[in-house]
A = this chain, B = another copy of it.
Amino acid sequence: MTTRQPRTWSGRRPTLEEVAAHAGVGRGTVSRVINGSPRVSERTRAAVEAAIAELGYVPNNAARALAGNRTDAIALVVPEPERRFFAEPYFSDIVHGVGIALAETEFQLLLTFAGSDRERQRLAQYLAAQRVDGVLLVSVHADDPLPDLLEQSGMPAVISGRRSAEETLTSVDSDNFGGARDAVAHLVARGRRSIATITGRLDVYGAQRRLDGYRAALVEAGREVDEELVCPADFTEEGGRQATAELLERRPDVDAVFAGSDVMASGARQVLRSAGRRIPQDVALVGFDDSAIARHMDPPMTSVRQPIEEMGREMTRLLIEEIAAPGRRRAGAAGRRGREQLVLPNALVVRESS
């Protein structure tokens, strides 16, 4: 550990006390003005504001944080290395949504990467050091201990997606079930007979829900679910390829594939192509995420779009709500304990692959 040194630069800034003296009022009154308390007369408020402007006063945040036990900052925790964060448009959209929601508040956003274990450790320290009032968690892996850690600590937190049907943290998710159901219903409406699905890792709750949606759509169409058409994979392109190869062998009559992610769909497409199947003439293909992959695929691919920016906005809104009313829990549908679980609708974007 290194020795710390005082780090002072440039001249002293005016303090609350100085503003108070300048305005001829007490310290408390200036504080009230700064914090927008209604218990200040118009005259006094004007005088104080003039003094603030004249001295160029800006409150010292460290002091506010210490005295008020709050920081006016929230952290967006990304349990990924920087590179992946920048590579995926998902994060960009989330950050944008968060930024929009935050613009109307006094909160500052801290972007925190926790890709390596070392970074995770520092993060835990950081959060414990009470540098933020709340945490937004995105892209959480199933085995990540961070959410539980946060929950135990009582730190307000909102998670994107749910870890299970009984998520205990406040969460914002997209309607994976509905999105998948719509996609498959679309394939049914297009007259496809043998509709297969390639799933993501089923220990990821969202992947499970997409599979559930697939099943529901078939049942609603009065069809039976043929388990031979359900191909488990792992969200990767290679997984998509492999699952598709096996599928073609098992069920050469397949005429539609609903993939649980665009990336897996991309793998599927490669195998379908090299097997001589035309898209969409022989086999229709639908993905999930509506990422750049879907738009740039040849042919452009039908995919389920998640309202990611809106998710970012809603996460932020819920987090701020939770910070404002700590410990408050909202009644769930069943009226039992639990924090809010917000689910936003997805939209099917139809393109030429189906």
Contact with B along A313-330 (1 / 0, CB 8 A): 000000000011011000
Bound state CA distance, A127 and B326, in angstroms? Answer: 29
Task: Give the shortest distance, in Å, between A167 (CB) and chain B (any CB).
Answer: 19
- Contact, CB under 8 Å: B96 / A92: no
**A71 close to B66 (CB less than 8 A):** no
Which of the candidate stretches A55-63, A158-166, A299-307, A346-354 sits at the interface with the other chain?
A55-63
List, in ascending order, chain B residues with CB within 8 A of A38's CB. 3
| A324 / chain B contacts, CB cutoff of 8 Å | 5, 7
B9 close to A128 (CB less than 8 A)? yes
Cβ contacts under 8 Å, A70 to chain B: 4, 6-7
Interface residues on A, range: 35 or more
Count of identical protomers in the assembly: 2
Q: Does A152 contact B (CB under 8 A)?
A: yes
Closest CB-CB distance, A19 to chain B, in whole Å?
Answer: 14
Which A residues, 34 to 91, have Cβ-Cβ distances below 8 Å to chain B? Answer: 35-38, 58-63, 65-66, 68-71, 82-83, 86-87, 89, 91
A82 contact set on B, CB distance < 8 A? 92, 95-96, 99
Q: Which residues on the B side are within 8 Å of A83 (C-beta)?
A: 92, 96
Q: Interface 1/0s, chain A 96-111, versus B by CB < 8 A?
A: 1001000100101111
Q: Complex formed: what's the CA distance from A125 to B323 in Å?
A: 23
Find chain B residues with CB under 8 A from A96 CB: 82-83
B62 touches A9 (CB 8 A): no
Whether the Cβ atoms of A62 and B58 lie closer than 8 Å is: no
- B-chain residues with CB within 8 Å of residue A108 when the two chains form the complex: 110, 126, 131
Q: A10-B152, A62-B71 are in contact. List 18 more A-B contacts (CB 8 A).
A: A1-B35, A4-B36, A4-B68, A7-B70, A7-B133, A9-B153, A9-B155, A9-B156, A9-B326, A10-B154, A13-B130, A58-B128, A58-B129, A83-B92, A83-B96, A86-B92, A103-B119, A108-B110
Taking beta carbons and an 8 Å cutoff, which residues of A are in contact with B?
1-11, 13, 35-38, 58-63, 65-66, 68-71, 82-83, 86-87, 89, 91-92, 95-96, 99, 103, 106, 108-111, 113, 118-119, 125-126, 128-131, 133, 152-156, 323-324, 326-327
| 19 pairs, CB–CB < 8 Å, chain A vs chain B | A3-B36, A4-B36, A6-B70, A7-B133, A7-B323, A9-B154, A10-B155, A58-B129, A59-B129, A60-B130, A61-B129, A62-B71, A62-B130, A82-B92, A82-B95, A82-B99, A83-B92, A86-B89, A87-B92
